[in-house]
Structure 1
Amino acid sequence: MSIVLDISQRNSVLKKMAILVDQNRDEILNENLIDLKSYQGSDLAMRDRLKVDDHKIEVMIAALKQLAYQEDPIGVERFRFTHDNGMQVYNKTAPFGTVLIIYESRPDVTVEAAGIAFKSGNKILLKGGKESLHSNLAIAKLWHQALKEETISLDWITYLNYNRLETQSFLEKPTQNVDLIVPRGGERLIAFVKEHATCPVIVSGRGNNFVYVHNEADKALALDNIINGKTDKISACNAVDKVLIDKNLPNKEDFVKNLITTLKNFNVEILGDTSLSKYEEVLPISDNSIWQEEFLDYKIVIGETENAQEAISTINEYSGGHSAAIITRNQIEAETFMTNVDCAAVYHNASTRFTDGFQLGLGGELAISTDKLHQRGPIGLQHLVTNKWYIHGDGQIR
């Protein structure tokens, strides 16, 4: 493991990178255009994640600046203890060492992931998808320029331009030390990494997020919440795919009709269970396995549920463990729902679209973990650390 850089050095690189991204936005956009023109797939979510525009560049710059001004996550005291023999015992945060992130299509991850890893004292190996190669290499070049201008070794941030076989070989027999791997992408990518990796893996898994409209819901709020969650960004893992509507919701039929009309205005394909597929524009569910699917598309499933307890049970059975929301005026019901739903992020009267490191105040995210060890939800600056024990004595022996 390399000697940890001083916090001022780490912050200087982040600030320099923010300036370089701003100064070189035309080059990034031009390289991204090459990637977009080369992409032949029909996956709308993949294309959306691949595309870089001025707004995405502004978000990259903002994330770098926010990271630069956050507290140092290294050396934070988590525990202290004075032993009977006088030893002073401390537990403090420490870097992992080297982190490998394997991701698909998103050039902004090349900024965000590297920034978080570097600020938290880790070296990072970036393995992006072939569909975003030109964009990623342009951004990696800027990282090396920022490191060079601060006279810091370039091996703190490395881009691995590997094909699938080379990646598999590296996972199985790394040519350098790797302490942690984070796959960020679809289920096929995650399965590939878990099959071949020889070191710990944190899974950034599927979304398949639910909204439960409780019988004491504000119906206008519920409608806005569902539409935002479904249509704001279909390529996001925090998008809504399933809606459960309480059978005792007052004026339920009017709400359902309004929901269907509004979703259709956004060209969303609607599927429903037996109670809701009676509506003309709702297709019947042909296979219950659809409740487990993450769509990443203009597609949604709506269903009726008996009560909050059944909604919780359904979510825990089918969701990806990412995000779920309850819409209700009843605070007690909301607390019960949030306590018992087994997801990384639970919401009361707010959109699942906020499950995002930057939105939740972390200064961006390496990924959104659906694992429970060692971190769940957005993996931010504060979470890309492990810990170590510091024991100070004056000759004590046991």
Structure 2
Amino acid sequence: MFNVEEVCKKAKEASYILAGYTSEQKNRMLEAVAVALEENKSEILKENAVDLKNYTKQDSVFVDRLTLTGERIDTMIEGVRQIISLPDPVGEIVETFTNKAGLELKRVLAPLGVIAIIYEARPNVTVDAAALCLKSGNAVVLRGGKDAICSNRALYNVMRNAIAKAGMNPDCVAFIDDISRESSKDMLGQGKYIDVCIPRGGEGLKHFVLENATMPVIASSGGNCHVYVEKTADLEMAKNIVFNAKTQRPSVCNAAEHLIVDEAICEKFLPMAYDALSTKNVEIVGDERARKVLPKIGIMTDEDYGTEYEAYKMSFAVVNGVKEAVDMINKYSTNHSDAIITKDEFAKNYFEKNVDSACVYVNASTRFTDGFEFGLGAEMGISTQKLHARGPIALKELTSVKYVIEGNGQVRN
């Protein structure tokens, strides 16, 4: 029987060693991982093929998430090397001051300790999470989904062997090699060894973690994302942004699910958007006002407003001005990524200030919400909560602070 507690205990012990590694040592460890991924690409793809063969449901979105290709492995490797190139946040002094007793106080970035990440179908998370944790001085406990067990195991073994070969402690990367639900609950009960848990997946996974975790949780939520085309927008730009945000990769959390259009331009813009999206066979549903312009589209139900389709489907809604658009977004979004297309300064400022989302876009696609695209390196997920991190969970978001206090003999009266 797989011993979850023992794995987590070893990760905790390794975290103290890892915290003492220099930036050079951590980068050397990550470079060994990048090289090993390249050298073992064929074996990784072979194991991924087993997962794909074992998955028998007809779900193209899920299959896309599960699939590894040579190009996707190259992207993982590029992500690891981008993390190597980034400054090490550990030890960064964020504030220095002297108190009335003459003590010099420094607030210094420090690792969180041991981070558990529980995720679903995407095998790339195995590498992304490990690389981020190692660079930020944290040990990591990986618990992937059952459908990707062969891929995740192969990636973990490649990384562990590479770390050991580089002369570092391989226990700083741990893997729960048990796909039972009980093993997930067991891991979430290891609060004495795990300092924080990050769920990466749908709302069901997030709620499961929040209900069972005995350690703090940084919730990485799904993305019910909107694009609002305001009446002053450049309509050709808006069409291109909507098309990209919906169709470039519809299965991911930063893909747009809902198009909101100002009533002043709906008769002109809705057909433009419909024609563009139809080239990718996107299924369109609309509210009553949208269907007056496009009677052939489906009827938008109350459930549609809050649905993250993760597929070639999109809703169209018509509003009267930016305030109504913002109210709709705040009511139905998952506070992930939402965009406005506009030339109007008031609308831009109102949207930026009042949309309660982790990432708010002006005249750009929501598809950029990604640590790699932001230049932060790979990410652990997109946090939609407000503590401890919000937005892409990259290197600095995987640190805390400690106070270092220096004196010259002071005692308290």
Normalised to the residue count of structure 2, the TM-score between the two structures is 0.93
**Residue 126 of structure 1: SS of its match in structure 2?**
strand
Task: Work out which of the residue numbers 165, 168, 177 in structure 1 matches 2:185.
Answer: 168
1:12 aligns with 2:59: no
Map 1:59-208 → 2, pairs under 5 A: 59-162=75-178, 163-172=180-189, 174=190, 177-208=193-224
Instruction: Determine the C-alpha separation between the residues in 2 that align with 1:273 and 1:237.
Output: 23
Instruction: Determine the C-alpha separation between the residues in 1 that align with 2:229 and 2:376.
Output: 29
CA offset at residue 19 of structure 1?
1.1
1:326 aligns with 2:340: yes
Could you tell me which amino acid in structure 2 is paired with residue 388 of structure 1?
K
Could you tell me which amino acid in structure 2 is paired with residue 169 of structure 1?
D
**Residue 386 of structure 1: SS of its match in structure 2?**
strand
Could you tell me which amino acid in structure 2 is paired with residue 49 of structure 1?
R
Residue 175 to residue 370, structure 1, CA distance change in 2 (3 Å): closer
The match for 1:282 is: 297
Residue 175 to residue 384, structure 1, CA distance change in 2 (3 Å): closer
CA offset at residue 176 of structure 1?
5.9
User: Please, which moves more after superposition, 149-158 or 345-354?
Assistant: 149-158
CA offset at residue 80 of structure 1?
0.7
**Residue 158 of structure 1: SS of its match in structure 2?**
strand
**Residue 261 of structure 2: SS of its match in structure 1?**
strand
Tell me, yes or no, if the aligned pair for 2:26 and 2:134 is still in contact at 8 Å: yes
Could you tell me which amino acid in structure 2 is paired with residue 297 of structure 1?
A
CA offset at residue 340 of structure 1?
1.1
The match for 2:6 is: none
Could you tell me which amino acid in structure 2 is paired with residue 344 of structure 1?
A
1:367 aligns with 2:381: yes
Map 1:307-326 → 2, pairs under 5 A: 307-326=321-340
Provide, for residues 227-280 of structure 1, a one-character-per-residue CA deviation record: whole Å limited to 9, x for no partner: 11111111110000011100112xx32321121122222111111000112324
Backbone CA RMSD of aligned residues? 1.2
1:266 aligns with 2:283: no
Instruction: Determine the C-alpha separation between the residues in 1 that align with 2:386 and 2:59.
Output: 30
Task: Work out which of the residue numbers 210, 231, 238 in structure 1 matches 2:247.
Answer: 231
CA offset at residue 169 of structure 1?
2.4
Instruction: Determine the C-alpha separation between the residues in 1 that align with 2:117 and 2:299.
Output: 40
Provide, for residues 98-120 of structure 1, a one-character-per-residue CA deviation record: whole Å limited to 9, x for no partner: 00000001111011010000110
**Residue 304 of structure 1: SS of its match in structure 2?**
strand
Tell me, yes or no, if the aligned pair for 1:114 and 1:124 is still in contact at 8 Å: yes
Q: Structure 2: 5+ residue runs without aligned partners? A: 1-14
Instruction: Determine the C-alpha separation between the residues in 2 that align with 1:153 and 1:47.
Output: 34
CA offset at residue 33 of structure 1?
1.0
Map 1:284-363 → 2, pairs under 5 A: 284-286=299-301, 288-363=302-377
Could you tell me which amino acid in structure 1 is paired with residue 320 of structure 2?
E
**Residue 118 of structure 2: SS of its match in structure 1?**
strand
Could you tell me which amino acid in structure 2 is paired with residue 74 of structure 1?
V
Instruction: Determine the C-alpha separation between the residues in 1 that align with 2:211 and 2:124.
Output: 26
**Residue 217 of structure 2: SS of its match in structure 1?**
coil
Could you tell me which amino acid in structure 2 is paired with residue 165 of structure 1?
E
Instruction: Determine the C-alpha separation between the residues in 2 that align with 1:104 and 1:153.
Output: 27
Provide, for residues 284-323 of structure 1, a one-character-per-residue CA deviation record: whole Å limited to 9, x for no partner: 123x132111111111110100000111111011100000
Greater than 3 Å deviation, 4+ residue runs = none
Could you tell me which amino acid in structure 1 is paired with residue 187 of structure 2?
F
The match for 1:386 is: 400
Task: Work out which of the residue numbers 20, 25, 31 in structure 1 matches 2:41.
Answer: 25
Residue 349 to residue 379, structure 1, CA distance change in 2 (3 Å): same
Tell me, yes or no, if the aligned pair for 1:144 and 1:157 is still in contact at 8 Å: yes
Could you tell me which amino acid in structure 2 is paired with residue 52 of structure 1?
L
Aligned residues: 394
CA offset at residue 81 of structure 1?
0.7
Tell me, yes or no, if the aligned pair for 1:44 and 1:235 is still in contact at 8 Å: no
Normalised to the residue count of structure 1, the TM-score between the two structures is 0.97
Could you tell me which amino acid in structure 1 is paired with residue 262 of structure 2?
D
Could you tell me which amino acid in structure 1 is paired with residue 165 of structure 2?
E
Instruction: Determine the C-alpha separation between the residues in 2 that align with 1:46 and 1:124.
Output: 25
Could you tell me which amino acid in structure 1 is paired with residue 357 of structure 2?
C
